[in-house]
Amino acid sequence: MRHDHLITSKQLSRGDITEVLDHAAEIADDPGAVLEKHAGTLLGLLFFEPSTRTKMSFETAMKRLGGDVVDMGSIESSSVKKGETLADTVRVIEGYADALVLRHPREGAPKMASEYVDVPLVNAGDGAGHHPSQTLLDLYTIRENAGLEDLSVGIMGDLKYGRTVHSLAYALTKFDASQHFISPESLQLPREVVYDLHQNGATVREHGDLESILPTLDVLYVTRIQQERFPDENEYRKVAGEYRIDAGTLEAADDDLTVMHPLPRVDEIAPEVDDTGHAAYFEQAHNGVPVRMALLDLLLGDSDE
Ligand code: NCD
């Protein structure tokens, strides 16, 4: 991997992405081959926002490569509470760990932090910005279920604040996927993201409802309304509960439609969808382990062998 840090999916070429996905597939086929590859390596976990999947799958990935983690723990129990700056925190923890994973509510925080450290740093989500390791596992899941050629993807829900959406859209542009964005007007993609996607060659098609576009889709990527990022609670209430799919919704879909969701879901996907052949979101979450093993292995390289 030619990158020192993973901050956004924008920095990844199609070749970089394919390298990670191919390596993840190798690891998924034969996890025993890398069992002790990074024995003694420590991954520093710095989560300034809640996380279940991302944090635990990075931890699992590091341990399955033979390493271990050191975890800053909750903000309440760390020196952040005493007013320590992020730049100081990462410089301290870089002395304990061989790589860092950082989630932060402020957009751009991982980029800034990466400028203070020499060990690889992965952005595990920065506010409404980016979440590139999620994108890699999303693409892995898409490749397994629908392939990455001639792909038509619908991305639905909170496109404004959903960082997984922004990261995925940039990456799909590199695979020339046909992208459809389905949301209420108030939660459309930020205009600067649309502009940027256009600059990168994407055709951005925005829709107010799913109905007209659903039959043409290979993948439907559903997202949660990011309640915690709404400046005004009333604005949240206006849109909560819109854009929910159930088994009835999917009757109009292609039999091979793959339904994905980065999780956690609130009520965007009715539980009855879980039992249909469309549901790929639990498989998607599980793919976080081989994909993050591949990513860590490539970022760490042979330096610790
Ligand atoms: C997402 C996130 O944190 O952006 N979760 C995840 O990492 N799988 C999506 C979300 O919180 O809605």
Q: Assess whether 103 carries a catalytic annotation.
A: yes
> Under DSSP, is residue 139 helix (H, G, I), strand (E, B) or coil?
helix
Question: Would you give the DSSP letter of residue 189?
Answer: P
- Give residue 305 CA to ligand 1 midpoint distance, Å: 33
Question: Would you give the DSSP letter of residue 107?
Answer: T
Task: Catalytic residue, from 8, 54, 223, 249: name it.
Answer: 54
Nearest-CA residue for ligand 1 atom 6 is: 262
pLDDT at residue 103 greater than cutoff 70: yes
The residue among 77 and 153 whose pLDDT is bigger is 153
**What local confidence, expressed as pLDDT, does residue 303 receive?**
55
Select from 3.40.50.1370, 3.20.20.80, 3.90.1150.200, 3.30.1360.120 the CATH code of 9-130+288-300: 3.40.50.1370
Find out whether the beta carbon of 101 lies less than 6 Å from any atom of ligand 1: no
- Give residue 111 CA to ligand 1 midpoint distance, Å: 19
Find out whether the beta carbon of 288 lies less than 6 Å from any atom of ligand 1: no
Single out the residue of 157, 238, 250, 256 nearest to residue 211, CA to CA.
250
Q: How many CB atoms lie within 10 A of CB 14?
A: 13
> Alpha-carbon distance 300 to 298, whole Å?
6
> Under DSSP, is residue 100 helix (H, G, I), strand (E, B) or coil?
strand
- Give residue 221 CA to ligand 1 midpoint distance, Å: 13
pLDDT at residue 1 greater than cutoff 80: no
CA angle 234, 165, 167 (to 5 degrees): 135
**What φ, ψ does residue 7 adopt, rounded to 5°?**
-110, -45
pLDDT in tens, 29-67: 999 999 999 999 999 999 999 999 999 999 999 999 999
Per-residue exposure over 188-216, b if at least 16 CB sit within 10 Å of its own CB, e if not: bbeeebbebbeeeebebeebeebeebbee
**Token pair for residue 47?**
């989560």
Find out whether the beta carbon of 224 lies less than 6 Å from any atom of ligand 1: yes
Residue with tokens 């206006």: 238
Single out the residue of 4, 26, 1, 5 nearest to residue 13, CA to CA.
1
Residue of 107, 263, 282 to mutate, ligand 1, most atoms within 8 A of C-beta: 263
pLDDT in tens, 265-279: 999 999 999 999 999
- Give residue 164 CA to ligand 1 midpoint distance, Å: 7
pLDDT at residue 27 greater than cutoff 50: yes
Nearest-CA residue for ligand 1 atom 1 is: 262
Q: Assess whether 163 carries a catalytic annotation.
A: no
CATH annotation of 133-285: 3.40.50.1370
Per-residue pLDDT, averaged over 187-210, amounts to 95
Residue of 9, 130, 140, 164 to mutate, ligand 1, most atoms within 8 A of C-beta: 164
> Alpha-carbon distance 281 to 285, whole Å?
6
Amino acid at residue number 195: Y
Q: Is the peptide bond preceding residue 215 cis, with omega within 30 degrees of 0?
A: no
Give the start-to-end residue ranges of the domains of the chain: 9-130+288-300, 133-285
Q: Which atom of ligand 1 is nearest to the CA of 288?
A: 8
pLDDT in tens, 113-147: 999 999 999 999 999 999 999 999 999 999 999 99
Q: Assess whether 53 carries a catalytic annotation.
A: yes
User: Can 9-130+288-300 and 133-285 be said to share one CATH topology?
Assistant: yes
Residue of 51, 131, 292 to mutate, ligand 1, most atoms within 8 A of C-beta: 131
**What local confidence, expressed as pLDDT, does residue 304 receive?**
45
Task: Catalytic residue, from 64, 104, 130, 131: name it.
Answer: 131
> Alpha-carbon distance 152 to 258, whole Å?
11
Strand order in the sheet with 68-71: 68-71, 42-47, 99-104, 121-126
Q: What is the pTM of this model?
A: 0.96
Find out whether the beta carbon of 262 lies less than 6 Å from any atom of ligand 1: yes
Q: By the 8 A CB rule, do 89 and 104 touch?
A: no
- Give residue 141 CA to ligand 1 midpoint distance, Å: 16
Find out whether the beta carbon of 114 lies less than 6 Å from any atom of ligand 1: no
Q: What is the mean pLDDT of the chain?
A: 95
